[in-house]
Structure 1
């Protein structure tokens, strides 16, 4: 049975097809012409990303930066649907990026596909016809509803992507149900959710369980992010602003239409393979790989859409995915990942279909309707 979808007005195309890359530095041929021009480019990158290096370290970093700049410039000369960028990883080697920003999800890809027949949506292909063409929960929507997506957050070197992804999904459903977009506390999950492992990794479903059993989650203002675990849980006194609550969570069956149905209703957490050099240095456009299915990172799908006209070479279906590396990464902190990719029907590109879930929040009317059926 198809999921009932809310009536929404979507104006996603205007945003997703014109989005610029935040803090982007274009690499010109003249930038690579000499050591002096490369140094100037590096200084510009450091200033743009507010990076300070010690004198001794800066020379070594510059050598890494040169190789990255040349590699990125060469890649971007090819006719690909996405570009690479001198983003926050500009003067780091792939090994350093992997060591510092590596696995933050403890989900294992093997055996994670939903096997139960009762979780498989019957008639999913036919249900595609009733779905919106474009969805973007960042935009103002139906009946003056506010956006369901807060600003992109920055996890830094803390491996808490699972917490950021879960919080983004809860912020989304809370805004949809209450028409109040509130930034919620990632730090509370890192400090207080003992079912996960804080900055060492975790998963969003565990975070949902914590919020259900704890009675909700505090706001970002009440319990702000500090970039590391504090070693103790410091939930504010309850005489302050009330926490945001959820009633449960659901898993999405591993097929594209099921995820489209879920995303058409609210933002959804996904686990995916973010290990490739191309993914980490993504700068804009529709990412088409390479990537595998090692579910090392969790992010939040906040919409989907299509580029180009049907039948044209530029026609690519994509997911709009919110990351937690700050607005300096990708398209202002987001990545568009190709969907409906041939050969990836079961797992989706980068494994995006394998393990998806979303929080459930009832309105007062919804609770009353449930009580009437009991």
Structure 2
């Protein structure tokens, strides 16, 4: 394998022309000066320091050069966005060497088939489509279930499209804590391996089907008893047969495209929600109230764990993601509400649901 100095020389040759063009532009980025983005040496140093920070190792010089070019393109996008956006900002994270297509293919996992797009209208023993969520009573001005002890630490789905399982588990962990007082981290892997009638493991799934599975199968094991391995495996419930499980009685769907219904439900417990996370800014979101470009074609399962206001009309919903604690605001994102769009920011109000549990 070539030495680090040889790698650097090759990188210098590749970016010499691009650096000349970049020098004419006025770059700036959160955490770095404009000089860092117009200097050939500093661009390389920035890439090398990013590699070290995120423990990135490439198998060949060619791969390193390729990833550097992708890194640089992402860096320029981050910079351009931060010049325009006023309420949120982007930053370099562990995904900075991935093209956006690579990122979407690896980290988005709500990929419903045409059958899955029709949410279950009736499941024996379960209640769905509860329009009463909008009836009666006011709601608090702000709610944060993290402060109430109903949200476990941010988890990381890795390169497995299992976001639906993480969304489901976050909601079940929440209602279990509210009812029992115990915050217990539960097993996403059990859902990936065992809930296969309608859901598809690392190839996507739907939270309602997962709630139905948990209610009908007798409960979900603890994460420590059935740990996550970031890939599909054989259902091994028997190995944890004697371990404690967390049960639910069913689930409810929040009326679609209704912000007040969602907030009322969210005032009572964390929710599973689906969003369109395919926009490039999601890949590098670093902080603030997100109000950037996104569609409403749902492709990612997350959990709503609160709502509040940042002033100046920046009302938001607090969303727990499953891309690890280094992404966003320690693994969370605040998504703007009161947008005037019935479906909400990135389709946030289109498909929300939550588990029920007897007290």
TM-score (norm 1): 0.81
- 1:155-206 residue CA offsets vs partner (Å, 9 max, x unmatched): 0111000000000000000011111101000000000112211111111111
Q: State the 1:55 CA deviation.
A: 3.3
Instruction: Work out whether 1:214 is the aligned partner of 2:217.
Output: yes
CA deviation digits over 1:2-57, x for unaligned, max 9?
xxxxxxxxxxxxxxxxxxxxxx9723212212121011111221222222222321
Counterparts of residues 76-91 of structure 1 (less than 5 Å) = 76-91=82-97
* CA pair 329-109 structure 1, distance change in 2 beyond 3 A: farther
Match of 2:161 in 1: 159
Whether the 8 Å CA contact 2:109–2:163 is kept in 1: the answer is: no
List aligned pairs for 1:349-368, cutoff 5 A.
349-363=345-359
Residue 42 in 1 paired to residue 47 in 2? yes
> Alignment partner for residue 257 of structure 1, among 250, 260, 265?
260
Which of 47, 55, 58 is matched with 1:53 structurally?
Answer: 58
Alpha-carbon contact 2:95-2:284 (below 8 Å) kept: yes
1:123 deviates by 9.6
Does residue 1:297 correspond to 2:305, yes or no? Answer: no
Q: Which blocks of at least 5 consecutive residues in structure 1 are unaligned?
A: 1-23, 142-146, 309-313, 364-374
The within-5 A match list for 1:1-374 is: 26-56=31-61, 57-106=63-112, 119=129, 121=131, 124=134, 130-139=138-147, 141=148, 147-195=149-197, 196-240=199-243, 242-254=244-256, 255-308=258-311, 314-342=312-340, 344-345=341-342, 347-363=343-359
Task: Indicate the SS of the match to 2:41.
Answer: helix
**Offset at residue 225 of structure 1 (A):** 0.4
SS at match of 2:326: coil
* 3-state SS of paired residue (2:267): helix
Give the gaps of 5 or more residues in structure 2.
1-28, 123-127
Separation in structure 1 between the aligned mates of residue 36 and residue 72 of structure 2, nearest angstrom: 10
**Offset of residue 68 of structure 1:** 1.1
Shifted more, 271-280 versus 99-108: the winner is 99-108
Aligned residue pairs: how many? Answer: 323
- SS of the residue aligned with 2:220? coil
CA distance in 2, matches of 1:257, 1:181: 27
Aligned 8 A contact 1:271 1:296 in 2: yes
**SS of corresponding position for 1:96:** helix
Counterpart secondary structure, 1:168: helix
* TM norm structure 2: 0.84
Q: 1 or 2 for the larger relative contact order (CA 8 Å, sep ≥6)?
A: 1
Aligned partner of 1:3 in structure 2 is none
Contact 2:109 2:202 in 1 (8 A): no
Q: Name the Cα RMSD after superposition.
A: 2.5
After superposition, give the CA deviation of every residue in 1:250-283 in whole Å (9 maximum; x if it has no partner). 0001211110011110000011111110122211
Distance 1:80 1:115, change over 3 A: farther
Q: Deviation per CA, 1:226-262, whole angstroms, max 9, x where unpaired? A: 110113434434333x100001100001211110011
2: CA distance, partners of 1:203 / 1:301: 16
Change (3 A) 1:31 1:203: same
The answer on whether the counterparts of 2:119 and 2:208 sit within 8 Å (CA) in structure 1 is: no
